[in-house]
């Protein structure tokens, strides 16, 4: 674990746990990110990464709750599944239709639910799980901070309409992106996302497909999984979209640090950023939800950067 801050608490009988659940999970940089934040907040917690297949998610959520876990993060393929499995949904999860963060709470007196961050629950207390989404706001924060983009009134192409692409497109629409182009291999999924956006805001310009040749756009965002593995096809059709049409390019993928998409975009003159910022901000917000304290974002950023440099 590339954690520069030594954890002042050795693991002992008071140590509490958080974890990210996913399948596959070995690529996850979340333990490096979160354990650095946890150490900086001087919490006697540890953050684990656990490989969990989707069929086992219900029993794992029950187990984590029974073992006094403080909270969980969820990654592929659990985010949508968990909507049905948590006891309560925060407004963020309801709004974006996906759960990437769970907080466990104990019923400390009838009807009063308290986070498990500070103390052990009273013996026999009921525990409930509350699902949140911290991904959607993290996308926008990363675009604003890492690319210095002004989203209000701008235009964007979103590549991908799976879980990540659907949330990104809807969040960009909410941030005031004026014209959205949604591209996906399975066109029906992009149509569905476009309908959701139009239902929410009928005046929104949202089209399924690429912008016309020569039309300039502010942002092209890769939310497909293409580029994660060497030899993947590129996520856009260069015969239809010239990346010179975009001024900024963002790839949600952070490992590898530069996908062929991002490399091409950089070489054609786009300002580029990878998904490290999105990972950082969704994680920082999750730590705030669990701990009730402001997250040490710069410490977490440095730990994440170091981890990715040493584990490219």
Binding site for ligand ATR (CB under 6 A): 76, 160-165, 184-186, 189, 224-226, 233
Contact 73, 283 (CB under 8 A): yes
The tokens of 180 are what?
A: 């959205």
| Residue 64: count of CB within 10 angstroms of its CB | 23
CB of 21 to ligand ATR, least distance (A): 14
Helix or strand or coil: residue 250?
Answer: strand
Q: Which of residues 31 and 275 has its CB atom nearest to ligand ATR in the complex? A: 275
The tokens of 151 are what?
A: 């989203």
Q: Which of residues 57 and 295 has its CB atom nearest to ligand ATR in the complex? A: 57
3-state secondary structure string, the chain? Answer: CCCCCCCCCCCCCCCEEEEEEECCCCCCCHHHHHHHHHHHCCCCEEEEEEECCHHHHHHHHHHHHHCCCCEEEECCCCCCHHHHCCCEECHHHHHHCCCCEEEEEEEEECCEEEECCCCCCCCCCCEEEEEECCHHHHHHHHHHHHCCCCCCCCEEEEECCCHHHHHHHHHHHHCCCCEEEEECCCHHHHHHHHHHHHHHCCCCEEEECCCCCCCCEEEEEECCCCCCCCCCCCCCCCCCCCHHHEEEEEECCCCCCCCHHHHHHHHCCCEEEECHHHHHHHHHHHHHHHHCCCCCHHHHHHHHHHHHHHCC
CB of 209 to ligand ATR, least distance (A): 14
CB of 249 to ligand ATR, least distance (A): 17
CB of 50 to ligand ATR, least distance (A): 18
Q: Which of residues 226 and 304 has its CB atom nearest to ligand ATR in the complex? A: 226
β partners of residue 271: 248
CB of 163 to ligand ATR, least distance (A): 3
Q: Which of residues 67 and 187 has its CB atom nearest to ligand ATR in the complex? A: 187
Q: Which of residues 76 and 83 has its CB atom nearest to ligand ATR in the complex? A: 76
The CA-to-CA distance between both ends of the chain, in Å, stands at 14
Residue number with the shortest CB distance to ligand ATR?
162
Active site positions, annotated: 79
CB of 192 to ligand ATR, least distance (A): 10
Q: Which of residues 184 and 291 has its CB atom nearest to ligand ATR in the complex? A: 184
CB of 292 to ligand ATR, least distance (A): 29
Contact 300, 280 (CB under 8 A): yes
Q: Which of residues 70 and 276 has its CB atom nearest to ligand ATR in the complex? A: 276
């Amino acid at each position: 674990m590339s954690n520069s801050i030594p954890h002042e608490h050795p693991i002992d009988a008071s140590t509490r746990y958080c974890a990210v659940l996913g399948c596959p999970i070995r690529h996850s940089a979340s333990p490096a990110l979160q354990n650095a934040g946890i150490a900086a907040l001087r919490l006697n917690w540890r953050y684990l990464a656990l490989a969990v297949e989707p069929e086992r998610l219900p029993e794992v959520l029950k187990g984590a709750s029974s073992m006094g876990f403080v909270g969980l993060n969820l990654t592929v393929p659990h985010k949508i599944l968990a909507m049905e499995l948590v006891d309560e949904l925060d407004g963020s999860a309801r709004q974006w239709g996906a759960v990437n963060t769970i907080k466990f709470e104990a019923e400390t007196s009838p009807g009063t639910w308290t986070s498990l961050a500070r103390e052990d629950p009273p013996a026999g207390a009921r525990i409930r799980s509350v699902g949140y989404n911290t991904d959607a706001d993290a996308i926008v924060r990363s675009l604003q901070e890492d690319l210095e983009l002004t989203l209000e009134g701008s235009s964007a192409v979103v590549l991908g309409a799976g879980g990540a692409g659907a949330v990104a497109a809807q969040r960009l629409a909410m941030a005031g992106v004026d014209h959205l182009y949604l591209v996906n291999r399975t066109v029906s999924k992009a149509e569905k996302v476009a309908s959701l956006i139009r239902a929410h805001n009928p005046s929104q310009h949202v089209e399924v497909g690429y912008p016309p040749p020569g039309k300039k756009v502010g942002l092209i965002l890769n939310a497909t999984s293409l580029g994660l593995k060497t030899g993947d096809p590129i996520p856009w059709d260069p015969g239809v979209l010239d990346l010179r049409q975009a001024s900024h390019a963002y790839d949600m993928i952070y490992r590898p640090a530069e996908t062929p998409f991002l490399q091409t975009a950089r070489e054609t003159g786009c300002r580029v950023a990878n998904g490290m910022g999105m990972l950082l901000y969704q994680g920082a917000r999750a730590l705030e939800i669990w701990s009730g304290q402001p997250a040490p974002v710069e410490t977490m950023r440095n730990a994440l950067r170091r981890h990715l440099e040493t584990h490219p």
